[in-house]
A = this chain, B = another copy of it.
C-alpha cells in the first residue's frame, strides 16, 4: 500500500533530449560507477538542459507559482508541485514579494517554497529576487542562503519601488542589470540567471527601443535566458524576438503564457501589469463575463491556439506558464499541445531530489517509500552519498524527526476529515483493523466516509499496490496491518506503465516485500511458521522498545528493486537495510501517536486503544528472495492464521 509513487517530481522522458536519462546521469556519478565523473555543473545546469533541448528540437514548458499566504496554503501548493511535477516541466519558478518576508524561514516564504520544490519535490526551480530598495549585503545574504538550500537559478528583477515615485539611488540597485552584475560578481558563475523581457516594452521605459537596449544590457551583464511578460497575440512575441535578435540578443527567449481563467483575475492582472487586452478578446469574454466555466474554456482555447502559432514559428523552444497557483487550465493547455507527459518515465522508482549534493543518490531504504520527504528531511545533513545512502561510509546518521508537523510532511487532510476517516470513536483493536481494510478496499466506512489516507500513507493506494488488493484486504481485516508492500517482478520492461522506471530498453525486477504491524500473539505464531521458509524469506521483527528478531545473520542490505539497462551498470535503487530499519521503526511507531492517538482526548478509550497498539504491537518486514517464483509471503501469513486457528496443542510454546 505504500510505494505512493504517484507522488513527487518524476522527470519527463523528454527532460533530457541528449539521450541521457536522469537515471543515467545519476548512475554515472554514483559510487557504483567507474567512469571518471564529469564536472557536475557542466552537465546539469538549466542552461545546458535548455541547450540540449533546443538542439534536439524538443519543446519544453515551465510553470510559475507565487508563495502562498497561509501554512495550509503551503501544504496544498507542495502537493500541487508533486502533481504538476509529474507532467515534466523543465523548471518551475517562485515569485518574490518584498512585503512578504520572502527570504525568511517561514513556511510561506519564497525561499522556503522554492527550497521545498527543489529538495522535496525534485523540481528544477528558479527563485525570483528583486533588488529595488535592497542593500547589497541583504541581497548577498539571500544568494548565499539560496545556494546553501540547493537552489541554482535566480530570476533577477528590479521589483516595484516602494511608494509612488521612484528615484535612482547612487550605488544602490536601480535596475535588474545591477542585480545581474552583483550576482555574477558575488557568486561567479554558480547561478543560472533569468531576466524579464517585455514584448510591448516595460511600462516605465521611455520607449520600446530603449527597453530593448536595457534587456540587452541585462543579458550582456550575464543573464542566461529571458522569460517575457504575458501577452495576448503571438505576433507580439514574435516581433519582440525578432527585434531582440536584431540587436544581438542570442539567448533563449521564453514566452510568458497566461491562460485566461476568469474575468476578474484577468482585469486585475492587466491592471497590475499595465497591459491592454486586445479588442478581439474583450469582445468574446465581455458577454460571458459571469460564466466562469465558459471563460475558462475560452481561455484554454485561446492559449492553445496562440501557443501552436508560437511553437510552429520555430522561434520558441519552450513555453512559460503563469499558473496563478492553479492546475486545471494550464494542464489542459499542455495536454492539448501534447507537452504534458502523460506517461512520465521515472528515472528511479522513487522521486529524485534536485539538490545538487543528492545527485549521486541512487539507493534508498524501502521503508520511507510513502514518506520520501521525511527521508530527505532526516538525511539532509549528509555531506555526501558515497554509497548512495550514507552520510559517511561507515554508518548512517539519521536526523531526529521530532517535529511531525513540518509543513511539507503535514497531512493534506484537516483533523475533522481524519476523524471521519479513522473513526470519531474507536471501540477496540478491530475498529483499527477496519480502518486499514477500508483504506485498502476503497469502501466507505460505517459513517459513510472513504478512508483516503493513513498515518503512514497520505495518498490513496498506489497503482502497483493495487495489484495486491485482494490479498491485502484479507490480511488487514485479521489484524495484519500493512503499511508497505511491493509485488515480486521478474523482468518487466522498464517502460511498463505501472512498475517501470529508468532508461528505455531495460528490464526491472523486484523481490516481494511486505511490512506490517501485528500483535505479539500473531508474532509468536509467525516465528514458528517462518522456520519453514528458511532461507527463502528474510525477516526483521521489532517492537517499539527495539526488541529485534531477525534471520539476517549479517547486517547487510537486501536489494529488493533493481534494473538492468543497455550499456550500463546494474542499478539497485531500493534496499531493505537492517540499520536504517531501526530508525524507520521509531518513526513508524511514533506516527500511531502523533497522527492518530492525538486526534482524541487524553485518557479517552479511543486514544488508549491506539496507545495500546503502539506499546504492544510489532513492526515486521518480510522479503521473499525467490523473485522468479510466485510470492510466498501471502502463504506465510495464511500459515500463521492457520496455526492460530488450530487447537493449542499443535502450537509450540512461544519462545520470545
Instruction: Chain B residues near A577: list those with CB within 8 A.
Output: 34
Say whether, besides A19-B553, A36-B394, A387 and B566 are in contact (CB < 8 Å): no
Question: Is B556 in contact with A628, judged by CB distance below 8 angstroms?
Answer: no
A572 interface neighbour in B389, B553, B565, B569, Cβ under 8 Å: B569
Question: Is B556 in contact with A568, judged by CB distance below 8 angstroms?
Answer: yes
A202 touches B (CB below 8 Å) = no
A507 touches B (CB below 8 Å) = yes
Q: Give the distance to chain B from A13, nearest Cβ to Cβ, in Å.
A: 15
Say whether, besides A628-B491, A628-B507, A559 and B554 are in contact (CB < 8 Å): no
A15 touches B (CB below 8 Å) = no
A325 touches B (CB below 8 Å) = no
Query: A549-579: which residues lie under 8 A (CB-CB) from chain B?
Result: 552-559, 562, 564-570, 572, 575, 577, 579
Question: Is B559 in contact with A34, judged by CB distance below 8 angstroms?
Answer: no
Instruction: Chain B residues near A509: list those with CB within 8 A.
Output: 564
Question: Is A387 in contact with B32, judged by CB distance below 8 angstroms?
Answer: yes
Q: How far is the CA of A625 from the CA of B568 in the complex (A)?
A: 9
Instruction: Chain B residues near A536: list those with CB within 8 A.
Output: 505, 566
Minimum CB distance partner of A491 in chain B: B628
Give the residue among A36, A567, A572, A625 with the most B Cβ atoms within 10 A. Answer: A567
Minimum CB distance partner of A580 in chain B: B34
Q: How far is the CA of A154 from the CA of B597 in the complex (A)?
A: 65
The copy count of this chain in the complex is 2
A390 touches B (CB below 8 Å) = yes
Say whether, besides A554-B24, A564-B562, A387 and B33 are in contact (CB < 8 Å): yes
Instruction: Chain B residues near A562: list those with CB within 8 A.
Output: 564, 570
A621 touches B (CB below 8 Å) = no
A35 touches B (CB below 8 Å) = yes
A37 touches B (CB below 8 Å) = yes
Say whether, besides A34-B390, A34-B577, A390-B34, A538 and B566 are in contact (CB < 8 Å): yes
Query: A592-632: which residues lie under 8 A (CB-CB) from chain B?
Result: 623, 625-628
Say whether, besides A564-B562, A566-B536, A569-B575, A556 and B625 are in contact (CB < 8 Å): no
A522 touches B (CB below 8 Å) = no
Say whether, besides A554-B28, A628-B507, A566 and B33 are in contact (CB < 8 Å): no
A524 touches B (CB below 8 Å) = no
Minimum CB distance partner of A566 in chain B: B625
A490 touches B (CB below 8 Å) = yes
Give the residue among A35, A363, A390, A394 with the most B Cβ atoms within 10 A. Answer: A35
A33 interface neighbour in B35, B553, B556, Cβ under 8 Å: B556
Q: How far is the CA of A5 from the CA of B444 in the complex (A)?
A: 62
A654 touches B (CB below 8 Å) = no
Instruction: Chain B residues near A504: list those with CB within 8 A.
Output: 535
A20 touches B (CB below 8 Å) = yes
Instruction: Chain B residues near A555: list those with CB within 8 A.
Output: 35-36
Minimum CB distance partner of A27 in chain B: B556
A441 touches B (CB below 8 Å) = no
Minimum CB distance partner of A386 in chain B: B31
Q: Give the distance to chain B from A76, nearest Cβ to Cβ, in Å.
A: 36
Query: A390-409: which residues lie under 8 A (CB-CB) from chain B?
Result: 390, 394-396
Minimum CB distance partner of A395 in chain B: B36
Question: Is A568 in contact with B564, judged by CB distance below 8 angstroms?
Answer: no
Q: How far is the CA of A491 from the CA of B627 in the complex (A)?
A: 10
Say whether, besides A34-B557, A491-B490, A535 and B20 are in contact (CB < 8 Å): no
Say whether, besides A491-B628, A507-B628, A35 and B564 are in contact (CB < 8 Å): no
Question: Is A37 in contact with B394, judged by CB distance below 8 angstroms?
Answer: yes
Q: How far is the CA of A586 from the CA of B125 in the complex (A)?
A: 48
Query: A460-494: which residues lie under 8 A (CB-CB) from chain B?
Result: 490-491
Q: How far is the CA of A505 from the CA of B33 in the complex (A)?
A: 27
A535 interface neighbour in B386, B566, B628, Cβ under 8 Å: B566
1/0 per residue, CB under 8 A from B, across A13-41: the answer is 00000011000100110011111110000
Q: How far is the CA of A455 from the CA of B488 in the complex (A)?
A: 46
Question: Is A557 in contact with B538, judged by CB distance below 8 angstroms?
Answer: no
Q: Give the distance to chain B from A353, nearest Cβ to Cβ, in Å.
A: 19
Q: How far is the CA of A626 from the CA of B504 in the complex (A)?
A: 12
Say whether, besides A535-B566, A566-B535, A567-B538, A557 and B33 are in contact (CB < 8 Å): yes
Top-6 shortest CB links A-B: A566-B625, A34-B387, A570-B572, A36-B394, A558-B567, A559-B569
Q: A28-B556, A34-B387 are in contact. List 20 more A-B contacts (CB 8 A).
A: A20-B553, A20-B554, A28-B554, A34-B396, A34-B575, A34-B577, A35-B554, A35-B556, A35-B557, A35-B579, A36-B555, A490-B491, A556-B569, A558-B567, A558-B569, A559-B569, A564-B627, A565-B625, A566-B625, A570-B570
Complex A-B: 16 CB contacts under 8 Å: A20-B553, A20-B554, A28-B556, A33-B556, A34-B363, A34-B390, A34-B396, A34-B577, A35-B554, A35-B579, A491-B491, A535-B567, A557-B568, A559-B564, A559-B569, A562-B564
B-contacting residues of A (Cβ < 8 Å)? 19-20, 24, 27-28, 31-37, 363, 386-387, 389-390, 394-396, 490-491, 504-505, 507, 509, 535-536, 538, 552-559, 562, 564-570, 572, 575, 577, 579, 623, 625-628
